[in-house]
Structure 1
Amino acid sequence: MTFLTTDLCDAHSENLQVASPIFKSYGGQPRFYGQIVTLKVFEDNSLVRTTLSEPGEGKVLVVDGGGSLRCALVGDQIAALAVDNHWAGIIVYGCIRDSVAISKLPIGVRALNTHPLKSVKKGVGDRNMILHFADVKFHPNDYVYADEDGVIISPSALW
């Protein structure tokens, strides 16, 4: 991939949102982009697994985990499932685990931090909602671009 968020910001700043720099990069693909699919969950990753079990077609799953630092919402098995189903990336407003294994997978992963504890599994959450965190709004079907310099959101494809 040859896009740079800096270049996209220079060319399209009037149409972009730039996320606050709160995310760390964990996946083996530091640069990724795709159409947004959203989930809102809290300390329950059941819907994360269910969604990443579906064909990703190069999309990016954006998970609002409420910013919880008390458990992980994505681990190596779920990240591998995303790779198998052709998702481009996962952005988690919360934690992941198995970070060493995830760093070897060909997928982009951004999260607040790591945590060794797995989440509960009650199947609670919402899909395809507008999410608001990191000083931006993630709309389903908009596009997100992430690289070493940051995360940006656009209402249409730029790349």
Structure 2
Amino acid sequence: MLLCCGIGVVGAIVGGDSPQATPSASARAVVDGAAPTAVSATPAAPVTTAVAPPSVAPTTKPAPPPAPVTVVMPDLVGLNAAVAQDKLKRLGITTIKLGSGDENDTFVILPENWTVTKQSHKKGAKVALDELVVLTCTKQG
């Protein structure tokens, strides 16, 4: 088809009297700047895509048991406040407050200088890991 269009365009440019010199409709469309439309006599073949088989998940170890949500409260009375805080943190308790039992010293600034005199939860009680634990302390010395 291109060959026919090319001959028609050349014939139109040269301007001969032969029947080949008269440009066809598609050649005129090319000369005029419009693109000719091609009509295919054969229908388009259907497009097929390959589908991969589902992958098999590899076997994994069973999930570990969930962490305990409660712990048993230890006896902290008589311990240094810093040591008591460390024990609670190692158990997983995250919210610990130190309070003063002294009239003259109302803030616990350095736990290392204080001794636990009371605890908010009794020894042996079950305490949730995110539950507030208050340790009342007195200043050493």
What TM-score results when the alignment is normalised by the length of structure 2?
Answer: 0.27
Please identify which structure carries the higher helix content.
2
The higher radius of gyration belongs to 2
Considering Cα pairs closer than 8 Å and 6+ residues apart, tell me whether 1 or 2 has the greater RCO: 1
